[in-house]
Structure 1
Amino acid sequence: SQLADLRALAGDSSQNIGGVPGIGEVTARRLLSQYNSLTELFDSLEQLPAKWRNPLSENRDDAFEYLSRSTIRCDLPLDINWDECLFKGFPVQMTKRIFEQINLGGAETFLRTMGKDVAVEAPCAIPEEALYGQAALEALEKVRTSNQDAAFVWFHDGEKKDWGLSVCLKGGQPFYVDLSSWHTEVAPGLEAPSQEDIWQILKPIFSDAQRIKYVVGVHEIMKNGAEMNNVRDVLLFSALLDINVWEHSIEAICARYGFAIYDRNLILGLNHESFASIPLRGRICWSARVADVLINLGECMYAEIEKRKLDALYRDVEIPLAKLGWNLNNLGVDCDKELTQKIVDLIDSKLEEIKSDFFAEAEVEEFDLDSEEALSHYLFNHLALLVPTRPKNGSILNAEMLKSLQEQNPIVEKIRCYCELSEFKRTFVQEFMIEGHTDVKVGGHLFNLALVSERRLQILGRVSTRGLTELLEHMMAVIDNLACASVRRPLAKAMDDFLRPKGASRLIYIRFPAMCLRFLAYIAKDKVLSEALESGRDVEMELLKKVFGEDLDKIISVRYLFVNMLLFYFSPAWLARRLSLEGEEGLQKAKAYLDKFERTLGEDYPASWDFILRNQAKATAMEEISTFAGRSCRFVEAGSRNYSIRENGERFARAFPVEGGCADIMRLALVKIFETFGTEVSAGSCKNMIIVHAPKGKEADIAEQCRQLCLEAAAEVPLKVEYRIH
């Protein structure tokens, strides 16, 4: 009965019910448990402390409007004419007008591809059977001798093993080559052609500069050593065109551009014991449908690429980076395994310390802190904490849930510290360092700007790594975000030592000191900041000293990160956690620090601060924001009526031109390094530096050449480049 009142106060995930700023879920529940309804709460405002009374009184009208929107009415008469409910085609133009009126700008791409008022998807002719042996080779040979554009869709498992290949010529029907015999025993007559025979036909196709080839990822092409000319990858298109979108699966891309394909799981089914147990018909249906729409989808996306003048960026940067990404696959380094036990001892001692402190404070009989079931019993039964939304991945607890529970009872912080550190040990130390697995990394495309800042720092599950540098980036990102602040610095140092190569290779760490500040000074035309940086002044330290005072020692080791976060993200909760400031008092202190930073930047470097605010205003007005290389997007979240959604949109909009521009320079630098040295070195990006994996004996010359190439990539941007050999 109080659900509508709760949503009116706390808001929900939609843009229609924003809630009262400053009143979260926990506070709203607490107030309603005491005052029963929104009306009674507002009748008793004078009894509330100022921190709740003020935002409530200032947003009274909005709160009752949200209450009205949250209330389900069952007493309204409905006069329904069922004939009017018949489907008569999709009203594209009318829907577009409605979306424009309510600022749903993200629907523009979808509507643009829907065509006229009625858009009907042509049925796909699914192959009745798979092709094997000589018949498969003959079908592929016809594709090779044709001059038509073609689409190629590999059906592979989580380990990137190929189980099938669907091919479709423009204007033709798809066919499916079953490759199951490469990985499992099959009945006589169902053997696939050998991998060598298939790629002897495919390599000339992919190297042909006159024909257009559409693919979903370039992994298979790279894996088999084929040269790529005029290959159009819809995954790279998606990363360029839809920067602020999280989901880049082929199903999500098709949905965004108005092409209907079924979700992979709907066709294949779920809960198969092994990949080989998926019915052949399911594999054919899914991959053939994708191949059938891939050419039209690719043409639609490439037209948008040309419209936004991103075709040169795709050709000259993204495709070479894809090749570089493949070179990073399985890149090994002879690590100092003797340090493994020291890292284990460091983590174990900290886990034991957290565990002892927890049980001493909790005053309960000891239980297994590594057991989700035991933990949930303690949290929800013993402490009787309010249960937030259950994680979508099916687990009982996750980081976000523990963070929200921490607001209800501070003892949860110790549980969170223990769980995060234990997960780090299990994932990185046990599986990577001891057992040698390299299947953990941050998700998404290599250097995809959709994964900057906090999005990049999330643990997105166990997927195949693209090499040492991404694994290092993920490890250091997780360490830097551990709730247990006291373990961050020694653990980061131990990990850095562990990744020191032994034997015939060296790591060259190429750094860009004060990169974001230097780029900001350039793009904002801030002469004062430029002169301060060029004079050799440590502007980062100057800003931090003015703001943090006695807390400066807590952030010295990651000062560039703090400057970047303060410049663009301004999250009091993040800063409070990073400085180990607890409770409401700690949050207010963090807000005071952020306000002081804003005032300091505005006073010392007004041109830069004005530039940041202009981009925030552009995002709110739904205008496009662009990076150095021309990547652009609209941050529709910045126009949301929901406070938290709008805040996130504004934060990403502030960061995008500068962080995105820095990423553009680093990407171009990587391409230049790759094209200069080829297979002699492998390079990758990690936070504000580039790591080059070079042969011993040549590291000094390679390091200096790499420094010059980075300066060339920066062009007129006055960046500073340094390196050290590790």
Structure 2
Amino acid sequence: MSKLILIDGNSIANRAFYALPLLSNSSGLHTNAVYGFTTMLLKLIEEQKPTHFMVAFDAGKITFRHKDYKEYKGGRAKTPPELSEQFPLLKDLLQAFGISQFELEGYEADDIIGTLTRLADDQGIEVLVVTGDKDMLQLASSQVTIALTRKGISEVELYDPGAIEEKYGLQPLQIIDLKGLMGDSSDNIPGIPGVGEKTALKLLHQYGSVEQVLEHSDELKGKMKEKVQAHSEDARMSKELATIYREVPMELTLDEMVFNGSEGQALAAMFQKLEFKSLLDKMDFASSDVEEEAAAELDCILLDEHSAAEWTGKLQKVTAIYVEVIGDNPHHSDVVGISFYDGEASYYAPLEVLQSKEGTAIREWLADPAKQVASYDVHRADVALSWQGIELKGCSFDVQLASYLLDPTEASHSLAAIASKFSIRGLKEDEIVYGKGAKFKLPDIQTLKDHMGRKAEGIAKLTPILEQELEKGEMTDLFHGLEMPLSSVLGGMEKQGILVHSEELRTLGGELNERIQDLVATIYDLAGGEFNINSPKQLGEVLFDKLQLPVIKKTKTGYSTDAEVLEKLASRHEIVQHLLTYRQLAKLQSTYIEGLLKEVNEQTGKIHTYYKQTIAATGRLSSQYPNLQNIPIRLEEGRKIRKVFVPSEPGWKILAADYSQIELRVLAHISQDEKLMEAFHHNMDIHTKTAMDVFGVAESDVDSNMRRSAKAVNFGIVYGISDYGLSQNLDITRAEAAKFIEQYFSVFQGVRGYMEEIVQKARKDGYVTTLLQRRRYLPEINASNYNLRSFAERTAMNTPIQGTAADIIKLAMVQLAERIKEEKLESRMLLQVHDELVFEVPEAELEMMERLVPETMEQALKLDVPLRADVSIGDNWYEAK
């Protein structure tokens, strides 16, 4: 039997838009309404299995109803541009789905649907109408069911005549009488003032229709009688306005609404354009005969201990490999195996085969730096394999790194997501194959090897596409000259690790615990009794009820006692400063003493951190397992933790080299601000120089407060600080902060010029770049929402500065690794922490490294102001600072 689905396009698009958070793709197109609409279409297709499908749209704002009542829909707010821009996308999407659409000047979508349901009724066709508009209930019949959306569009209530009778005690056509009496504020239909749904239903149950209510108005009492009689014409007009016109002159036939299912490639291409990655992952688009045939053709060959030795003759043809590593931390992960693709077929070797005697030739090939193959997340694979005694070299292209460079703001750089973005079919997300969380498990060998084979083949197909995209984005040099070599440098650092004196770390923990206990005793004494310091509720009662400190901020559950509140109260009572110190020390104890002890490798006695290259949109590295970049060094107790990091060889030293004010030097170069450049050329203290220029005083008159304020502004400017942010940092009013920022810009005109120009450039291009051409896309730069736009503007200002600073230290790392190798030195690079590099150096090489490291760092990238790196040496990391 035929089944026709009719959707009220404008109604559902509106509901989807307001039900979902504002989403946009990387080109800045808003997509939340389209996404919501899409999920509804997929659900309807799956559950209802329609034979015919059509979406009706309003053709314009003026309809035949406006001739009789100019105020019709007059109260509606103007459609937000974020929604109106989605209608063309929605119509393209329907085309990709193979769903017909229709609109006609002068008529609304519900009139088109009303006419089609009348025709369907006549032909005995089953119809489902999907809408958010209760007016549509008047169309219900034995053939027509109305699906009324609830909770945005995630749920629907189905109404046939029986359901309408059960809920309202009315026949479907009486819905227009209901609207005639009660009106409809959303359509600006007046009805009778003071008559709501309850009263309207009572009248209709008694009299049956608007006309009968008016005819029997004499039987009504009091004010109700007055209202009905005074607004009888409004009631008649309201009923007429609410009546769906079912004689729209259109030539749309049932044959034109036939739905034969969606065409996979067109829909996949549309999902890619809209960047609906989760939908791409869930759906199997290999539905066409050609794609099914291609999918069937891929038969990944399983290499066992017998076939592995014979197969090694084909290794020279391999163009892509994929290493499957299970686990977040590659230093403690399982390597499942490796797949290979030779341009014709895929092969999969489990780990036990690779480690066997028969796998010797494969291992030797993997370790050969002369080969040139593509892979995915080479850095992670390199580290994980090293713990299995397998060396990985000769990977010349990393599709994950390339994808990250092309758009660092992408939500996912999984292999399946990258393949999907570039229309390469057949790859599934690991979660689909392996399961997630507690449900994770490796599948049967057939499923596993085919999954692995598709990954290797996908890498081979993606490589030329990504090479071309990098070329288009002018990032080929950045990729091959910096990021790929850095990947290898990082792997070397991580495998080397840094030695930790665990006993000394435990001793530090003991000392810290004593300090914490002393603090707790002092806090109890000042509070006049014991309480749970870690309970915001109990702490709030002590501070604000017992000690009567002023309430700064409240939460849903009571008083706020967050760090911001405590800092504002610090001068009011001595307990507050003790609380702040207690929190800092407690975090040091749990996160850094206990946390670091857990990360010490039992075999090596070292900590092997892991640097992620593909997380930060600015290009900065992120240290994980553990994060050594976040050890707090403002507190002496935090700095002391660095004492436990020592050289791994007796008699060696720790050498640390730190860039001095690199971001401000980059700002001086990019902005070409004369005063900033002058300060750096004369090796002046930049914060003192800023204070002199902004406050208009001599160097000798700059006091500590002036310098502190200047420092806050200098670093704030780099991060696009607002007057509010500066006022919080310096504990001054927003007006004072705004005046200070204005004074800064009046002095440093080049900086102001740069900030204005870069925002304009970002608006035009949609992205900003670093000096090395690293891109960051800013889809919200032209957003109508002020907060989104402001964030994008600040990001446009600071990304070229922060990103270039990140690029410079990465360049220095690559160049230093090369210099150490060229000079045949034993010294080793161990850590990168923000603008600092840490090495372990034998005594005999100290003099050379003391010269070579800062020299390389300072010449890493030529700027119009000098770069400066300060070097220090000690028996541990603490002493080398």
What is the match of residue 462 of structure 2?
297
Q: State which of 615, 634, 637 in structure 1 corresponds to 2:777.
A: 634
Q: Is the 8 A contact 1:358 1:411 kept in 2?
A: no
Cα offset for 1:602?
1.1
What is the match of residue 803 of structure 2?
660
What is the match of residue 409 of structure 1?
559
What is the match of residue 306 of structure 2?
134
Cα offset for 1:63?
10
Task: Rate the CA distance shift 1:360–1:335 in 2: closer, same or farther, 3 A.
Answer: same
Cα offset for 1:64?
9.6
- Deviation string 1:349-369 (CA, Å, 9 cap, x unpaired) is 4587479859998x9995594
What is the match of residue 365 of structure 2?
204
| Greater shift in the superposed pair: 412-421 or 702-711 | 412-421
Task: Rate the CA distance shift 1:352–1:702 in 2: closer, same or farther, 3 A.
Answer: same
1:316 aligns with 2:466: no
- Deviation string 1:484-527 (CA, Å, 9 cap, x unpaired) is xxxx4234322344436584332222222222222222222222
What is the match of residue 83 of structure 1?
258
What is the match of residue 450 of structure 1?
617
Cα offset for 1:430?
0.9
What is the match of residue 431 of structure 2?
265
For residues 594 and 10 of structure 1, the distance between their equivalents in structure 2, rounded to whole angstroms, comes to: 39
1:151 aligns with 2:321: yes
Cα offset for 1:73?
3.7
**What letter matches 1:262 in structure 2?**
K
Cα offset for 1:87?
1.4
For residues 717 and 290 of structure 2, the distance between their equivalents in structure 1, rounded to whole angstroms, comes to: 47
SS in 2 for 1:237: helix
SS in 2 for 1:680: coil
- Deviation string 1:356-401 (CA, Å, 9 cap, x unpaired) is 859998x9995594xxxx889999xxx9xxxxxxxxxxxxxxxxxx
Q: Is the 8 A contact 1:272 1:278 kept in 2?
A: no
Task: Rate the CA distance shift 1:231–1:11 in 2: closer, same or farther, 3 A.
Answer: closer
What is the match of residue 527 of structure 1?
674
- Deviation string 1:243-281 (CA, Å, 9 cap, x unpaired) is 333533323333443334222122112355886x66445
**What letter matches 1:270 in structure 2?**
K
Q: State which of 391, 395, 408 in structure 2 corresponds to 1:243.
A: 408
- The 5-angstrom pairing of residues 577-588 of structure 1 reads none
| Greater shift in the superposed pair: 670-679 or 425-434 | 425-434
What is the match of residue 55 of structure 1?
none
Cα offset for 1:686?
1.7
Cα offset for 1:304?
1.2
Cα offset for 1:554?
9.3
| Greater shift in the superposed pair: 287-296 or 254-263 | 254-263
1:563 aligns with 2:714: yes
SS in 2 for 1:713: coil
Task: Rate the CA distance shift 1:124–1:360 in 2: closer, same or farther, 3 A.
Answer: farther
Q: How many residues align?
A: 594
For residues 468 and 419 of structure 2, the distance between their equivalents in structure 1, rounded to whole angstroms, comes to: 15
**What letter matches 1:410 in structure 2?**
S
SS in 1 for 2:660: coil
Cα offset for 1:634?
2.0
For residues 717 and 827 of structure 2, the distance between their equivalents in structure 1, rounded to whole angstroms, comes to: 35
TM-score, normalised by the number of residues in structure 2: 0.57
Task: Rate the CA distance shift 1:299–1:126 in 2: closer, same or farther, 3 A.
Answer: same
Q: State which of 665, 670, 673 in structure 1 corresponds to 2:816.
A: 673
SS in 2 for 1:598: helix
- Deviation string 1:159-181 (CA, Å, 9 cap, x unpaired) is 233222222222x23232222x4
**What letter matches 1:617 in structure 2?**
Q
For residues 289 and 863 of structure 2, the distance between their equivalents in structure 1, rounded to whole angstroms, comes to: 50
For residues 448 and 521 of structure 2, the distance between their equivalents in structure 1, rounded to whole angstroms, comes to: 49
For residues 272 and 454 of structure 2, the distance between their equivalents in structure 1, rounded to whole angstroms, comes to: 31
**What letter matches 2:750 in structure 1?**
A
For residues 309 and 345 of structure 1, the distance between their equivalents in structure 2, rounded to whole angstroms, comes to: 54
For residues 199 and 670 of structure 1, the distance between their equivalents in structure 2, rounded to whole angstroms, comes to: 33
Q: Is the 8 A contact 1:441 1:474 kept in 2?
A: no
Q: Is the 8 A contact 1:157 1:163 kept in 2?
A: no
1:174 aligns with 2:321: no
Q: Is the 8 A contact 2:524 2:531 kept in 1?
A: no
Q: Is the 8 A contact 2:766 2:781 kept in 1?
A: no
Cα offset for 1:621?
3.6
**Structure 2 unaligned runs (5+)?**
1-15, 25-29, 33-74, 85-130, 137-145, 147-245, 247-253, 545-552, 567-578, 874-879
Q: Is the 8 A contact 2:322 2:338 kept in 1?
A: yes
For residues 792 and 505 of structure 2, the distance between their equivalents in structure 1, rounded to whole angstroms, comes to: 42
**What letter matches 1:83 in structure 2?**
V
Q: State which of 826, 844, 849 in structure 2 corresponds to 1:702.
A: 849
Q: State which of 686, 689, 705 in structure 2 corresponds to 1:539.
A: 686
Q: State which of 466, 470, 489 in structure 1 corresponds to 2:635.
A: 489
**Structure 1 unaligned runs (5+)?**
1-6, 19-59, 182-191, 384-402, 466-470, 480-487
For residues 514 and 606 of structure 1, the distance between their equivalents in structure 2, rounded to whole angstroms, comes to: 20
Cα offset for 1:89?
4.8
SS in 2 for 1:509: strand
For residues 85 and 555 of structure 1, the distance between their equivalents in structure 2, rounded to whole angstroms, comes to: 73
Q: Is the 8 A contact 1:154 1:164 kept in 2?
A: yes
Q: Is the 8 A contact 2:272 2:420 kept in 1?
A: no
Q: Is the 8 A contact 2:727 2:736 kept in 1?
A: no
For residues 554 and 243 of structure 1, the distance between their equivalents in structure 2, rounded to whole angstroms, comes to: 39
SS in 1 for 2:635: helix
Q: Is the 8 A contact 2:397 2:484 kept in 1?
A: no
**What letter matches 2:314 in structure 1?**
V
Cα offset for 1:674?
0.5
For residues 367 and 63 of structure 1, the distance between their equivalents in structure 2, rounded to whole angstroms, comes to: 53
1:719 aligns with 2:867: yes
Task: Rate the CA distance shift 1:685–1:62 in 2: closer, same or farther, 3 A.
Answer: farther
SS in 2 for 1:87: coil
- Deviation string 1:516-547 (CA, Å, 9 cap, x unpaired) is 22222222222232112222322224436888
Q: Is the 8 A contact 1:206 1:213 kept in 2?
A: no
For residues 151 and 74 of structure 1, the distance between their equivalents in structure 2, rounded to whole angstroms, comes to: 55
| Greater shift in the superposed pair: 245-254 or 517-526 | 245-254
SS in 2 for 1:475: coil
**What letter matches 1:567 in structure 2?**
V
Q: Is the 8 A contact 2:324 2:336 kept in 1?
A: yes
Q: State which of 568, 591, 596 in structure 2 corresponds to 1:427.
A: 591
Cα offset for 1:619?
2.5
SS in 1 for 2:339: strand
For residues 82 and 487 of structure 2, the distance between their equivalents in structure 1, rounded to whole angstroms, comes to: 50
**What letter matches 1:153 in structure 2?**
V
**What letter matches 1:174 in structure 2?**
S
| Greater shift in the superposed pair: 222-231 or 153-162 | 222-231
Cα offset for 1:326?
1.2
1:598 aligns with 2:741: yes
SS in 2 for 1:247: coil
Q: Is the 8 A contact 1:545 1:552 kept in 2?
A: no
Q: Is the 8 A contact 1:167 1:174 kept in 2?
A: yes
SS in 2 for 1:450: coil
**What letter matches 1:74 in structure 2?**
D
The structure with the greater share of residues assigned to strand is: 2
- Deviation string 1:581-613 (CA, Å, 9 cap, x unpaired) is 6xxxx7xx3x44652453133112111221122
Q: Is the 8 A contact 1:127 1:176 kept in 2?
A: no
Say which structure, 1 or 2, has more relative contact order (CA 8 Å, 6+ apart). 1
Task: Rate the CA distance shift 1:412–1:604 in 2: closer, same or farther, 3 A.
Answer: closer
Q: Is the 8 A contact 1:343 1:491 kept in 2?
A: no
Task: Rate the CA distance shift 1:597–1:288 in 2: closer, same or farther, 3 A.
Answer: farther
Q: State which of 821, 824, 835 in structure 2 corresponds to 1:688.
A: 835
Task: Rate the CA distance shift 1:143–1:597 in 2: closer, same or farther, 3 A.
Answer: farther
